[in-house]
Amino acid sequence: MNHTPSQTQAFFNSLKSSWSQKSSSSTQKAFGQGSLEALLFPSFISLESAQRESKGISIQIGAQNAHFEKSGAFTGEVSAPMLQELGIKWALVGHSERRQFFGETSESAGKRCLGLLTQNMKVMLCVGELKSERESGQTKKVLEAQLSHGLPQGIEPYLDGRLVLAYEPVWAIGTGLTASPEQAEEAHQIIRRWLWDRYGMESSGRTRILYGGSVTPENCDSLLKCPNVDGALVGGASLKHESFLTLIESGGKSAL
Ligand code: PGA
């Protein structure tokens, strides 16, 4: 719940004026080859502004949530056709703040995932354990339960890049406590192995797994070096255009 429509416009104006000086040729090459993607997920009210202002730079826009039904009596929700009318193709699902503060569950995340994918959206599903779950050795069990509900039957055809997973340990989100590269890699290996066991090598390889939780321009390179970390999902450090651009540069370096 950051950036009003006019703040979003100002963010993009600054981003665009720095883009050509700050964006290196290798990052541009990675965008051109399709080995790098950059997305921004503003709040619903700022989507239109972001979509309009991002024209001409390699940033795609996504929504922070979306409902699985096409339309209906679901006050407060937004559907895939509404987003698609603005040209929005991506939605986040199951962010820990949705689970923690708004009663969403792995089951409802699973419904959103499948419903949105079948309506031609691309989805980024977030999973991650609480601090107490990590401390009591439950991380693997929690992740596997979130995945098995979050990826319901029928999801397999979409494991070709249209579904992206984000491992976001809840204790690391907005706390300044980043997982170490070793902790991130270990959790990503659990997720990759779960995908492999269930859907095979190809689907597991094509499903990108991002790390999120206090990622900054300072720690991003070391996290992206981990073999099973395919990208980053960033909150606080993406709010200022300068650090957002630096994070994209980290992505560009690791994509080559
Ligand atoms: P953070 O947020 O980068 O500020 O920890 C991550 C998130 O909200 O997904």
- Say yes or no: CB of residue 234 within 6 Å of ligand 1: yes
Question: Which DSSP letter does residue 110 get?
Answer: H
Burial class (CB in 10 A: 0-12, 13-18, 19+), 120: exposed
Residues 174-178 have a mean pLDDT of: 92
What is the spatial distance between Cα 13 and Cα 39, in angstroms, rounded to a whole number? 16
Distance 72 CA to ligand 1 centre (A): 31
Q: Does 129 have pLDDT greater than 90?
A: yes
pTM (two decimals): 0.97
- How far CA 35 is from CA of 32, 110, 115, 120, 213, in Å, comes to 8, 27, 27, 21, 23
196 pLDDT above the threshold of 90: yes
User: Residue 120: pLDDT above 90?
Assistant: yes
Q: pLDDT digit string (tens) for 72-89? A: 999 999 999 999 999 999
Q: Which atom of ligand 1 is nearest to the CA of 233?
A: 9
Residues linked to residue 166 through DSSP beta bridges, in sequence order: 126, 210
Per-residue pLDDT, averaged over 137-166, amounts to 98
Predicted confidence band at 179 (pLDDT cuts at 50, 70, 90)? very high
Which residues, 6+ apart, have CB-to-CB distance to 211 below 8 Å? 166, 167, 168, 179, 184, 188, 223, 226, 229, 231, 232, 233
DSSP structure string for 129-196? --HHHHHTT-HHHHHHHHHHHHS-TT-GGGTTTTEEEEE--GGGTTTS-PPPHHHHHHHHHHHHHHHH
Ligand 1 pocket residue status of 244, Cβ below 6 Å:
no
Predicted pLDDT of residue 20? 85
Average pLDDT, the chain: 97
Which residue puts its alpha carbon closest to atom 2 of ligand 1?
Answer: 235
Is residue 125 within 8 Å of residue 135, measured between CB atoms? no
Does the beta carbon of 215 lie inside 6 Å of ligand 1?
A: yes
What integer pLDDT is reported at residue 22 of this predicted model?
86
Q: Exposed e or buried b for every residue in 26-54, given b needs 16+ CB within 10 A?
A: ebeebbeeeebbbbbbbbbebbbbbbebb
Residue pair 93/113 in contact by the 8 Å Cβ criterion: yes
pLDDT at 182 over 90: yes
pLDDT digits (tens, 9 = 90+) for 13-66: 999 999 988 889 999 999 999 999 999 999 999 999 999 999 999 999 999 999
Contact present, 161 and 206 (Cβ < 8 Å): yes
Q: Ligand 1 center to residue 8 CA distance, Å?
A: 18
HSE-up of 156 (CA within 13 Å, CB side)? 9
- pLDDT tens, residue by residue, 157-173: 999 999 999 999 999 99
Ligand 1 centre from 153 Cα, in Å?
29
Q: What's residue 256's pLDDT? A: 82
